[in-house]
Amino acid sequence: MRKKIVAANWKMNLDFNMAEDLMAELSEKLAEREEDGPEIVICPPFPYLEMAIDFSEDGAFLTGAQNIHPLDAGPYTGEVSAAMLASMLVDYCIIGHSERRLHFGESDAFLAEKVKAALKWDLTPIFCCGETLDQRNEKRHFEVVSDQLAAGLFHLPESEFRRVVIAYEPVWAIGTGVNATNEQAQEMHAWIRKLIAEKYNPATAAVTSILYGGSCNAGNAPGLFAQPDVDGGLIGGASLKADEFISITRSFPARQ
Ligand code: PEP
Q: Look at the alpha carbons of 229, 235, 236, 237 in this order and tell me if their dihedral is positive or negative.
A: positive
Residue 71 lies in a domain: yes
The string of pLDDT tens digits covering residues 149-178 is 999 999 999 999 999 999 999 999 999 999
Residue 41 lies in a domain: no
Residue 56 lies in a domain: yes
Confidence of residue 31 (pLDDT cuts 50, 70, 90): confident
Instruction: Identify the CATH number of the domain in which residue 81 sits.
Output: 3.20.20.70
Residue 87 lies in a domain: yes
127 SS3 class: strand
For residue 15, is pLDDT > 70?
A: yes
- Our answer to whether residue 97 is catalytic in this structure is yes
In the set 69, 97, 141, 189, the catalytic residue is 97
pLDDT at 153 (0 to 100): 98
Residue 213 lies in a domain: yes
* φ and ψ at residue 69, rounded to 5 degrees: -100, 145
- Our answer to whether residue 103 is catalytic in this structure is no
- Ligand 1 atom closest to the Cα of residue 128 is 3
pLDDT at 36 (0 to 100): 82
Total domains present in the chain: 1
Mean pLDDT of the chain: 97
For residue 256, is pLDDT > 70?
A: no
Residue 37 lies in a domain: no
Residue at 128: amino acid letter: C
Residue 169 lies in a domain: yes
Confidence of residue 225 (pLDDT cuts 50, 70, 90): very high
Domain that holds residue 172: 5-32+46-249
Provide the whole-model pTM. 0.97
Residue 40 lies in a domain: no
